[in-house]
Each structure stands twice: as C-alpha cells, then as structure tokens.
C-alpha cells in the first residue's frame, strides 16, 4: 500500500538523504481492493453453472512507528466482503456471502538504507469470518469462525521521498 508519514521532520526543502526509515517516524497506511468476475455459459446441455457472478472488496488501514532505524512495529485493521451467486440451467440458485474482519500486530525490518529495499516482516493476526449460504428451495445456512495466525513475510519497499513509501509483499507463510 501507499504510506504517508504523519509527523514530517520539517517544511523546508528536503535533503538528498532519505530519512523515511529513521527511528521515531510515524506512518499511516491504507489500501483497498475490488474484484468482479462474471461467467455465462450459453450451452443448454451444460449441466453445471449457467451464470456465475462473484464480487469481492476489501479495505485496510495501518499505523506504525519506527522503534529503531529501519525497524517498524504497528497495528492494522481490515475488512473484506465477498458475494458469489451461481445460477444453474435447472433453475437452482446458490448464493454465498462472506464477511471478514481482521486485526493484527506486525513488525518489519528493512534490510538496506536504499531507495529500493527488501524487508523481512512478522505478523500476528486475528480474523473473524461470517458466512451465509442461501440455496433456492433448500433454505439458508450461516456459520462463523475465528482464526489466529502468525508468520513471517518478505517484501520490497520503494522510498519515493522522505514522506512517501510504497510497499509490496512478495511472500508469506502462516501457522493457524
């Protein structure tokens, strides 16, 4: 996501040295994602899904502080929702809805003080998922689940200037 530091060091012209990863700096980050998938089968002899529509969306926010140079700790909150509607040639319709809430603690260690730097991270997560399934002519079913997980991650960060940083997570591994 794109991150913006809440506490700028000054309002003067910035020096050539990047101070974005220095101890004491705060940051605020946010992200979002929207996905839509549609499928339509026009073959009347096809016995599976004739129409399939999936919609997904998510938002998250994070706040963190550099506790040492190139070492950040923080907390994040996330919300996501998913809707999947399948319609079959026999007229049956299945609807699946899910909502997910996340909260977690994280740490990141930026490996080099350069504009493009890899990082190693560690996360502790809690998520709550609520599911609802509606099947035509059969009623509905609801379920809820709680999940705790922890694990490492690897990524890349690109320092745009002393106030902006873009990160991408390349790999993660979680134990639940």
DSSP letters spanning the chain: -EEE-SS-S-SSPPPSS--TT-TT-EEEEEEEEEEEEEEE---TT--SEEEEEEEEEEEEEEEEEEEETTEEEEEEEEEEEEEEEEEETTS-EEEEEEEEEEEEEEEEEE-SSSSEEEEEEEEEEEEEEEEEEEETTTEEEEEEEEEEEEEEEEEEEEE-SSSEEEEEEEEE--B-
pLDDT digits (tens, 9 = 90+) for 66-103: 999 999 999 999 999 999 988 877 778 899 999 999 99
pLDDT digits (tens, 9 = 90+) for 3-29: 545 455 544 444 445 678 889 999 899
């Amino acid at each position: 996501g794109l991150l913006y530091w809440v506490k700028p060091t000054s309002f003067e012209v910035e020096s050539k040295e990047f101070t974005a990863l220095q101890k004491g700096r705060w940051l605020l980050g946010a992200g979002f994602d929207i996905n839509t998938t549609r499928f339509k089968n026009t073959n009347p002899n096809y016995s599976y899904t004739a129409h399939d529509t999936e919609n997904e969306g998510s938002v998250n926010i994070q706040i963190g502080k550099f506790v040492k140079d190139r070492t950040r700790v923080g907390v994040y909150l996330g919300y996501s929702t998913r809707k999947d509607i399948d319609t079959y040639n026999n007229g049956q319709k299945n609807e699946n809805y899910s909502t997910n809430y996340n909260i977690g603690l994280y740490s990141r260690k930026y490996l080099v003080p350069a504009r493009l730097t890899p990082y190693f991270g560690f996360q502790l997560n809690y998520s709550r998922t609520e599911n609802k399934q509606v099947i035509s002519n059969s009623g509905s079913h609801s379920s809820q689940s709680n999940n705790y997980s922890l694990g490492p991650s690897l990524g890349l960060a690109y320092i745009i200037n002393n106030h902006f940083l873009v990160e991408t997570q390349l790999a993660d591994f979680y134990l639940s």
